[in-house]
Structure 1
Amino acid sequence: MKVNRVIPDITVDDIAAAREFYAGFLGLSSEEFNLGWVARFTSPDTGASVQVLTADATGQTNPVASVLVDDVDAAYAEAKEQGIEIVHPLTHEEWGVRRFFVRAPDGSVFNIVAHPE
């Protein structure tokens, strides 16, 4: 599996209220997207980013990070082969990504995701 990017996922009560801190104070002022339940704020200067989410739209739990990979199907097969707990099945989501969630041995949940090309 080739990891292209890891983005922290921070659970918040209200995305609009969180915007002032993440976009204002931290300078992550480019809002790459906002689906109402998840938004990504990115620095226009460095590309550093965080995602904030209230409650995942289809997953039963919020992940701690999103791991963008080159081949999500291969990553899913590898996770199954290694016996890693799948928390959310491999799914093509209506907002265009293909993803699944895994649980690390420490209990942290990760969103393993690929965007269409």
Structure 2
Amino acid sequence: MRFSDRYPLIVTPHKNACRDFWVRHLGFEVGFDSTWFVWLHSGDGSASIAFMTPDHPSAPPGPEPFSGRGLCFEMQVDDVDAAFAEATQRALPVGYPLTDEAFGQRRFGFTDPSGLWVDVVQQTEPAAGWWDRYMLDPAS
């Protein structure tokens, strides 16, 4: 299967607030917008996300409005310090400060108006031995 795009579709009554948040704070661009659905993408095409109101008949079967639980959207960057500086300049309401994690990430995080938690991460070298207790034995 070959994909031309892949993105989460968040069902939320806050479609317009989410659109405005992602455009203002993260520099996303609007690729398509209607009264019930918006698709956003980064200028370089490396990421996209969509939001849809819960009251439209074209809603896919099953998705209830997003409750803000059980989903974390990871956005990996090459330079998290630069991303943090840009986010701060755009007045992004950061909920998790820029932090070096022992498991091998430098990251910060925030919540958008739908309740979606977003982690902006840069992969780093984990602390020596940190992953040893979590790795599966390839022979088992």
TM over 0.5: no
Look at both structures and tell me which one has the larger radius of gyration over its CA atoms.
2
State the TM-score, normalized to the length of structure 2.
Answer: 0.37
Higher strand share: 1
State the TM-score, normalized to the length of structure 1.
Answer: 0.44
